[in-house]
Amino acid sequence: MPPMNAPSSPVLRSLVTGTPPHSALQSEVQAAARTLFPRMSERRQMLDVFANAQIERRALSRPLEWYLEPRGFAEKNAVFLEEARTLIVRLSREALRQAELSPADVDAVVVVNTSGLSTPSLDAFLIGALGINPHAARLPIWGLGCAGGASGLARAADLVRAGYRRVLYVAVELCSLTLVRGDESKSNFVGTALFADGGAALVVTAPEVPGPPPLLSLHGAFSTLIEDSEDIMGWDVVDDGLKVRFSRDIPTLVHSMMRENVAQALAAQGWTREDVQTFVVHPGGVKVVAAYEQALGLPDGALDSSRAVLRKYGNMSSATVLFVLAEVLRQRPQGRGLLSAMGPGFSAEHVLLDFAPQA
């Protein structure tokens, strides 16, 4: 059982990001799409999606040519298990090292993913592979998509507040493996232009736990599920795997709701928009980032970190916002921040941050 009198302000001790070993330029993926989707590729407007995505390169779980051959759900999911396990072990070891903790110190493990299936869940594998305490609490989270990176961070902080003093949190997504070859739907084509593979591992602890200086503290979270919106984004399960579904204009939705939603998230903790200096936003696409920027009236450059991650890595679903957080931390921010992501549900997730003062 967790100890009594849990702390109220968990802190982030380490954050490590990484990708599988293979990668491709966006121009190479576009050329592959011509082979995979000949009918859609005849439409100039659809081919422009690749250039408009403003992605330069992204990581893949297999060499690009592997995706050109027919692959069933079972084969793709087997690759997911192999590559996801390898990646989360590597990232978690480094996150624990940077947090100056041993695997035996971990009290709870949170693992977020949406792009592959595993039973037992990935956290069970991770505990065995690293030698984590077998009595550690386990929280596998599946199905939150792009919103999962923010939600997983919030749940890791909740576990610390509940008394689990050292929490390992991992998000891993291998979105390239959800490609459905021959599916000439607009959703699948757009997904091919955006989706990529990557993962992140973080250690969240109680503030009194010995270790390196905290990177930031976590001051609450806010979740919103939009009524009658499950059609907006998600997976349809087909014989060839997880088929992406986009059914509405997500940037327009972000633009219409985000100002009020952010105000509600901040007010729940007694904060105001003026209190927040730094915004850490999941880059679902360039239009989504622009819509967020416009809705909040952010100055030029406020979301450059989101754009940089999208350009260098593509959309890695839940892991992406944690890559953005790593990018922001390299800039040594001060004051308060807000981490935000949206995903299937349709939902919005926000985490309130206070960046540790720098020496």
Active-site positions read 146
Which among 317, 338, 154 is positioned nearest to 261, based on CA atoms?
A: 338
Beta-carbon count within 10 A of 286 CB: 18
Q: Is 162 exposed, middle or buried (0-12, 13-18, 19+ CB in 10 A)?
A: middle
- Residue 191, classed as helix, strand or coil, is helix
The conformational region for residue 222 under phi > 0 = left, psi -120 to 50 = alpha, else beta, is beta
Give the chain's radius of gyration (CA, Å): 20
- Residue 122, classed as helix, strand or coil, is helix
Helices (H) and strands (E) in the chain, counts: 11, 13
Cβ atoms of residues 337 and 347 within 8 Å: no
**Beta strand 57-60 with 11-18: parallel, antiparallel or unpaired?**
unpaired
Task: Find residue 234's DSSP bridge partners.
Answer: 245
Distance of CA 203 to the CA centre of its chain: 16
Q: CA angle, corner 91, sides to 284 and 309, nearest 5?
A: 25
Total count of residues recorded for the chain = 359
With b for 16 or more beta-carbon neighbours within 10 A and e for fewer, the 90-129 pattern comes to ebbeebbebbebebebbbbbbbbbbbbebeebbbbbbbeb
With b for 16 or more beta-carbon neighbours within 10 A and e for fewer, the 332-343 pattern comes to ebeebbbbbbbb
Beta-carbon count within 10 A of 226 CB: 15
